[in-house]
Amino acid sequence: MLRSISDLHGSTVHAVDGDIGSVNQAYFDDESRGVRYLVVETGNWLNDRQVLVSPYSVKHTDPGSSVVQVNLSRQQVRDSPLLDTHKPVSRQHEIEYLRYYSYPTYWGGPNLWGMGAYPAYDPPEPLDTPRDTPPRPPLHTDQPQADVHLRSTNEVKGYHLKAADGSIGYVSDFIYDDTDWAIRYLVVETHNWWPGGKAVLIAIHWIDVVDWLDSTVSTALTRDIIKNSPAYDDSIPVDRDYEVMLHRFYDKHGYWSDADAGDRAALE
């Protein structure tokens, strides 16, 4: 199901033995455009510390609910690697984090989640196992420690959208698939660009360039076609009918067609 990142903001994160805090923002991969972590404000019980929660541990994010269920214990979260949100999340920190929770790495494979299309795996040990054993040796990987590609959704909100013939709006939200955690669309507000402006969706694969220094996202679409595109209403879920209508308006190929073609090929 497609949902907005803003729906997650403020949601209570509920572990197997109690609440651990509320969602503050999300980190996404600027290459594959997948949501990699939720950043959780823990509040008083951990002295307002912020922690990362991976989609690997998320059990439920039911539509209309303000609770995110995770398959973690409070003690696991308490003992997890410290996060400095004032600095970029390094690959070394990710390795330490994934090793701590015994999660597989998502990079280096052919799919959004490494060897898998979804953040699913079989844990080698129960997730509520106490972490009072001596630390294991550092995780070794044959993959080079590549440049950091994690970006904060809070950071990118407000980026201006540059169409082929000029600016037309700014990013106000993100629409993601809560099954594979792929970002599918940017929500762009155009109210300040012409009278009667509206919110519109721009598919992530229609974005050609993101300038992280200039705080802009660029597309080959024109201002006029974006201005006349179907409006986005955040009170109505984005379903496949709306997606088909949107892609037909832009005369674009739908991302779901690739998945359907892959499924058909696998059956042949």
Domain end among 130, 151, 172: 151
| Exposure class string for 224-251: b at 16+ Cβ within 10 A, else e | eebbebeebeeeeebeeebbeebbeeee
Per the structure, the complete domain to which residue 58 belongs is given by 2-151
Phi, psi of 157 (to 5 degrees): -60, 130
Domain end among 132, 151, 170: 151
* Number of separate domains in the chain: 2
Q: State the CATH number of the domain containing residue 202.
A: 3.90.50.10
Query: Is 223 part of any domain?
Result: yes
Statement to judge: residues 140 and 170 lie in one domain: no
| Per-residue pLDDT of the chain in tens (268 residues, 90 and over written 9) | 999 999 999 999 999 999 999 999 999 999 999 999 999 999 999 999 999 999 999 987 777 778 999 999 999 999 999 988 888 899 999 999 999 999 999 998 899 999 999 998 766 554 444 444 444 333 334 444 445 689 999 999 999 999 999 999 999 999 999 999 999 999 999 998 888 889 999 999 999 999 999 999 999 999 999 999 999 999 999 999 999 999 999 999 999 976 544 433 333 3
Helix, strand, coil fractions of the chain, as percent rounded to 5: 25, 30, 45
Closest C-alpha among 206, 209, 208, 168 to residue 188: 168
Query: Is 190 part of any domain?
Result: yes
Confidence (pLDDT) at 82: 92
Sign of torsion, CA 204 205 207 209? positive
Q: What is the pTM of this model?
A: 0.86
Query: Is 268 part of any domain?
Result: no
Helices (H), 102-239: 153-156, 223-227
Domain end among 134, 151, 168: 151
Confidence (pLDDT) at 154: 95
SS3 157: coil
56 within 8 A of 103, measured Cβ to Cβ: yes
For 90, residues 6+ apart whose C-beta sits below 8 A from its C-beta are 145, 148
Confidence (pLDDT) at 35: 97
Statement to judge: residues 37 and 143 lie in one domain: yes
Mark residue 126 as left, alpha or beta (left: phi above 0; alpha: psi -120 to 50; beta: remaining).
Answer: beta
Place of tokens 């949902």: 3
